[in-house]
């Protein structure tokens, strides 16, 4: 039990943080891209979508190069005594990067589906641009964003490649559920592997059921 | 009405080039911009509201410049105190009638709660007979109710000017007559200046104390209503 409980909690913690970060950055980037009128928009969108199509190990390598002690960002962080490699925070960054395009894509599509007339109506009613975003655009895009957030959580929970590259496989510290399954199989410990796989499957089913409750089938536009 | 408009804007697309060149001085409380669809009526209205930036020219209300290209004045729509009634009403689908009407009164980054009570909103709910549907959402309203909510939402912040974009085109003809009478009565009571755009001669007859006729982006005729449109149709 203990050998499954710790990686399960770690996986949930990492996926939760990654989803929360993506709901901020992914939504901001999605809104920016949906309103940006420029020829460079498609190029930027493609670059930001790269994590979706690149092999996670390649992403993990990039992150290692950037965040390692001798990396550009890593060396700078090292001055403040912050290390990300081989920590659960490093796993959060890996999961965040991998799941980012899922939130970006759904947020952009959701914001583009908001009728611009409604935002203009809000402006003529004297409401500031920030308030227009929080009172009109965001609530009307919320359903699409929530769907993207759930996908991102699921993706982060299953993250393996990039996490292994940057956070490693330290039992109790950075060994997430998906990494623990791999480690157990490699060690020939079939009992642990079976148990972990069952725990993972049950967790995923529970999350899907919760997700179905969070996003009701009826449209949010007519709450009754 | 002290509204003076004198603006130019050119739109260029691959297929065509459209120049809006509109100038008129409103002298009455009720002005109708009349012309076929695509003539530039809505663009003119959007420019007055600050939703469209002209290339050059001036827009002044009560002697205050809302837009003046020479003096680099371009007030944001939020600062113009000009109410805009959109053709499809543009009611916020995620807010109930009460929240829609009170939208412009509510400050800050959050919407009022669904049950938030405000005396001003209550006044308009009664004035436009919307009390029974106060907690309904726009999707549950009839066309006439939607229009009343949009009117109340536009008027609750006490604007200096009311702009109406084809306000009756989405209604059937019976309702259209009734809403015309309601709007007319409301305008007289509030004594608020209004600019209404339409391609319907009946609207011109009802509201056209002054008629500005727009064709192909230009003002063709500009005169007090004298019945000439009736004889022409």
CA distance B29 to A22: 52
Contact residues on chain B for A135, CB-CB shorter than 8 A: 103, 109-111
**DSSP per residue, B169-181:** TTS-HHHHHHHHH
* Dist. CA B38–CA B215, nearest whole Å: 8
Walk across the sheet containing B30-34 and list its strands. B73-74, B64-68, B56-61, B3-12, B17-26, B218-224, B210-215, B30-34, B194-198, B161-165, B82-85
Residue whose pair of structure tokens reads 């113009």 in the numeric block: B80
The label of the residue with tokens 């907690």 reads: B135
pLDDT of A134 reads 95
Q: What is the pLDDT of residue A84?
A: 86
* Per-residue pLDDT, A213: 72
Residue of chain A with shortest Cα separation from B99 = A135
Q: Which among A126, A131, A224 has the least Cβ separation from residue B109?
A: A131
Query: What pLDDT shows up at residue B114?
Result: 84
Q: Which of B111, B154, B157 sits opposite A135 (nearest CB)?
A: B111
CATH of domain B3-93+159-232: 3.40.50.300
Task: Report pLDDT for B89.
Answer: 93
CATH topology of domain A11-174: MetI-like fold (1.10.3720)
Per-residue confidence in pLDDT tens, chain A, 224 aa: 667 789 999 999 999 999 999 999 999 999 999 999 888 898 999 999 999 999 999 999 999 999 988 888 888 888 888 888 899 999 999 999 999 999 999 999 999 999 999 999 999 999 999 999 999 999 999 988 988 998 899 899 989 999 999 998 888 888 999 999 999 999 999 998 999 999 889 988 888 787 777 665 444 444 44
The closest CB to that of B104, out of A120, A125, A220, belongs to A125
Query: A69 in contact with B at a CB cutoff of 8 Å?
Result: no
Q: Does A140 touch chain B (CB under 8 A)?
A: yes
Rounded CA-CA distance A191/A199 in Å is: 12
Residue A124 near chain B (CB below 8 Å)? yes
Q: What is the pLDDT, as a whole number, of residue B221?
A: 65
Q: Decide if B193 contacts B3 (C-beta within 8 A).
A: yes
> Is A177:A202 a contact under the CB 8 Å cutoff?
no
- How many angstroms separate the CA atoms of A31 and A118, rounded? 16
Q: Are A157 and A12 in contact (CB under 8 A)?
A: yes
Q: How far is B139 from chain A (nearest CA, A)?
A: 7
**What pLDDT sits at residue A113?**
94
Ranges of chain B whose pLDDT falls below 50? 227-233
Joined together, the tokens standing for residue B198 give 């339409």
Q: For position B232, what pLDDT does the model report? A: 40
Measured CA distances, B171 to A107, A137, B154, B165, B180 (Å):
35, 28, 19, 13, 11
Measure CB to CB from residue B82 to each of A124, A139, A140 and give the nearest one.
A124
How far is B190 from B39, CA to CA, in rounded Å? 30
């Amino acid at each position: 039990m203990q050998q499954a409980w710790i990686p399960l909690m770690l996986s949930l913690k990492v996926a939760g943080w990654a989803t929360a970060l993506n709901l901020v950055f992914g939504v901001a980037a999605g809104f920016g891209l949906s309103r940006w009128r420029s020829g460079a928009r498609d190029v930027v969108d493609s670059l930001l979508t790269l994590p979706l199509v690149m092999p996670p190990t390649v992403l993990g390598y990039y992150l290692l190069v950037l965040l390692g002690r001798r990396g550009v960002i890593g060396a700078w962080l090292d001055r403040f005594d912050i290390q990300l490699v081989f920590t659960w925070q490093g796993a959060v960054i890996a999961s965040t990067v991998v799941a980012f395009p899922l939130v970006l894509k759904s947020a952009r599509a959701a914001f583009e589906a908001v009728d611009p007339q409604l935002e203009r109506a809000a402006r003529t009613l004297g409401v500031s641009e920030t308030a227009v975003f929080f009172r009109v655009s965001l609530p009307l895009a919320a359903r699409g964003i929530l769907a993207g957030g759930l996908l991102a959580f699921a993706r982060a929970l299953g993250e393996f490649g990039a996490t292994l590259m940057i956070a490693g496989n330290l039992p109790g510290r950075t060994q997430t559920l998906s990494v623990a399954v791999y480690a157990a199989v490699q060690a020939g410990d079939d009992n642990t592997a079976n148990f972990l796989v069952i725990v993972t499957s049950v967790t995923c089913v529970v999350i899907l059921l919760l997700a179905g409750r969070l996003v009701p089938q009826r449209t949010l536009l007519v709450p009754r | 009405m002290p509204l003076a408009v004198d603006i130019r804007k050119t739109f260029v697309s691959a297929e065509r080039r459209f120049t809006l060149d509109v100038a008129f001085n409103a002298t009455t409380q009720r002005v109708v911009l009349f012309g076929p669809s695509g003539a530039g009526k809505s663009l003119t209205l959007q420019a007055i509201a600050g939703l469209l930036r002209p290339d050059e020219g001036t827009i002044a209300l009560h002697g205050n410049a809302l837009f003046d290209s020479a003096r680099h004045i371009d007030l944001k729509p939020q600062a113009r105190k000009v109410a805009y009634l959109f053709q499809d009403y543009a009611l916020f689908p995620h807010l109930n009638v009460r929240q829609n009407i009170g939208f412009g009164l509510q400050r800050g980054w959050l919407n009022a709660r669904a049950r938030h009570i405000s005396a001003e909103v209550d006044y308009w709910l009664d004035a436009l007979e919307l009390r029974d549907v106060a907690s309904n959402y726009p999707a549950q309203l009839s066309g006439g109710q939607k229009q009343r909510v949009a009117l109340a939402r536009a008027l609750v912040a006490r604007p200096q000017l009311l702009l109406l974009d084809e306000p009756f085109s989405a209604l059937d003809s019976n309702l259209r007559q009734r809403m015309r009478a309601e709007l007319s009565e409301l305008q007289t009571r509030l004594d608020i200046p209004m600019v209404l755009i339409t391609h319907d001669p009946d609207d011109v007859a009802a509201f056209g104390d002054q008629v500005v006729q727009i064709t192909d982006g230009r003002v063709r005729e500009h005169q007090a209503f004298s019945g000439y449109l009736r004889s022409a149709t």
